[in-house]
Every structure is written in structure tokens, then in C-alpha cells.
Amino acid sequence: MEEKSPGTDTEQPWFDGIPTADQSPPKTIFVSGDPLIGPKSSAAVVIGWILIILGAFGVLSIPLTLFDFGAADMNGNPITTSVTYKIVTVLFGLASSGLSIFGGYKMTKYEKQGVWLVFASFGISWIGSIVSPLLLGDSMGIGDSGGAALAGLSGFCGIFFYAICGLIVAIPLLMSNGGME
């Protein structure tokens, strides 16, 4: 097999011949029964438990919104938040945390509805993060325009935060073996 390569004086490996493709007829393979699918991914269960825990922390932190310790205006003077602000914050917090807990529970059972409930929780929380600064502006002494600016900034920044969280929650939907039904 070892010959001199054309145009050289040294001996090098040289293969001679014409390459050909496999000429055998194509074969069809039949599989009887159900197709073999691997085990369900545990991503839905893990993300579901994380959502349940975070929702529980949200429910436990709601009573803290009823107290005004540490709240100050732009000059550092202590302020008292309005009852409207407290009611709105508690209602949005309960709705968001409750949907997060229930959606997380559904995700641990591999139910697709849980992901949509968590998305709804994100939407409610985002709306709450816009409404709360609108109500807090008067208490802080910055007026309606200052509250509107805080609400706009909160909404703008919040949309990116909730988009990233939504992608994390949607991981089981994006996986081929996520097992979401």
C-alpha cells in the first residue's frame, strides 16, 4: 500500500481507488407499541416548589405593609402612608402571592395551567407595582407628578424583571420532555 506519492521523492501513505457510496437499498424500521419517552423532567416540580415558597414569603410579609416604620419623605422626615395605599398594597399582595402559591402547586403536578396562573400572578404584581407609587406620591410630599414618575419608572423596570421571571417559569413548557399536560 505504501508507494511514492506523485510528485515527491519520499514514501508516504497513498491510497488508490475510487470512493463509492453504500449501494444497499434503504431500510424501514418499524416500532410496535407506544414510542419510548424518557422520564418527565423535574424542572416543573423544582420551579413549582420555589414559587410556593416565594408565595408563602409574600403572604407572610403582607402584614408588614400595614406599619409605617422606616417610611420617610424626600427630606428624611417620617411619613404616614394613607389607608388607601395600605389596602391596595395588601389586596395586590394577597392576589399575587395566592396565585403564585396555587400556580406553583399546579406546576408540581405537571399541569400547564400552573404556568398560566403564575403569569397572571406576575401581571397582577406588575400592575400593583405601578398603582402603589401613584398612591404613595402624596404621602412622600412629591405630589402627583412625582408619584407618576415613580410609577412610570417602576413599571418600566418591572416589565424587564417580570419578563426574565416569566422565562424562568416557562422553562418546563420549553423543554421537550417537560411533561406538562
3-class DSSP string for 5-36: CCCCCCEEECCCCCCCCCCCCCCCCCCCCCCC
pLDDT tens string 79-100: 777 888 889 999 999 999 999 9
Q: End-to-end CA distance of the chain: give it in Å, rounded.
A: 61
Average pLDDT over residues 18-30: 67
Q: How far apart are CA 105 and CA 43, in angstroms?
A: 13
Q: What is the pLDDT of residue 35?
A: 56
Q: What is the pLDDT of residue 140?
A: 63
Whether pTM exceeds 0.85: no
Mean pLDDT value across the chain: 81
In which band, very low, low, confident or very high, does the pLDDT at 4 lie, cut at 50, 70 and 90?
low
Q: What is the pLDDT of residue 139?
A: 63
Does the pLDDT value for residue 27 go beyond 90? no
Q: What is the pLDDT of residue 148?
A: 83
Does the pLDDT value for residue 52 go beyond 60? yes
Does the pLDDT value for residue 171 go beyond 90? no
How would you label 38-65 residue by residue, b for 16+ Cβ within 10 Å and e otherwise? eebbebbbebbeebbeebeebeeebeeb
